[in-house]
Amino acid sequence: MTTAIPESILHPASLVNELKKNDVSHVVWLPDSETNFLYHMMMEEPTLDLVPVCREGETMAVAAGLWVGGAKPVVLIQNTGVFEAGDSIRGLCLDLNQPLVMLVGYRGWTRRGPTPDSAGRFIEHILHAWGINYYLVETDEDADRISVAFEECERLSRPVAVLIGTEFGS
């Protein structure tokens, strides 16, 4: 008899708990299919203020302003959005040593075979090129890496990425 191995999943609550634990005040974001469940939960969380933007390059800039004003933002975008936001990451996050956690939906990521989606193939190379460290989060067990990212970005005063390598379970 074969026993089905229960699939490990990432619940939105794990991520929201991490944001609360790290005193996040604002989530500056543009949705992707990976974060839809998360959206509903963030909306219901009174300690989080959502700032929706029209393109991802805005997120780092709004976050920079929030940070200057004394708030504690995170950015939540898809990896496609990282490609879109290049000049903001360079000219704000990196040039200003912004201690920013960027939660990035890892579109195209899979452990189970080839990665045909170029969004998945290029993202880690881009982060390496910029010298931005990152942590992969795929399951609830990985979620505490988000706290590791917060600790690191504040200690080094640098942006740190968290790649969300799964769609959220409901």
Q: How far is the CB of 67 from other proteins (least distance, A)?
A: 7
Distance, CA of 80 to CA of 23 (rounded, Å): 27
Concatenated DSSP letters of 70-97: T--EEEEEEHHHHHHTHHHIIIIIITTT
Q: How far is the CB of 170 from other proteins (least distance, A)?
A: 27
Site string for other proteins, 35-64 (x = CB under 8 A): --------------x-xxxxx-xx-xxxxx
The binder of other proteins chosen from 47, 65, 121, 141 (CB under 8 A): 65
**Residue 84 or 140: which CB sits closer to other proteins?**
84
C-beta atoms surrounding 49 within 10 Å = 15
Alpha-carbon torsion angle 107, 112, 113, 117, nearest 10: -10
Amino acid at 25: S
Specify the stretch interacting with other proteins by CB under 8 A; choose among 2-10, 69-77, 100-108, 145-153.
Answer: 69-77
Q: Is 88 in the site for other proteins (CB under 8 A)?
A: yes
**Residue 4 or 54: which CB sits closer to other proteins?**
54
**Residue 64 or 163: which CB sits closer to other proteins?**
64
**Residue 100 or 163: which CB sits closer to other proteins?**
100
Burial class (CB in 10 A: 0-12, 13-18, 19+), 16: buried
Q: Where are the alpha helices (DSSP H) in the chain?
A: 12-21, 36-44, 57-68, 79-84, 86-88, 118-130, 145-156
The footprint of other proteins (CB under 8 A) covers 25-26, 28, 49, 51-55, 57-58, 60-71, 73, 87-88, 90-92, 95-97
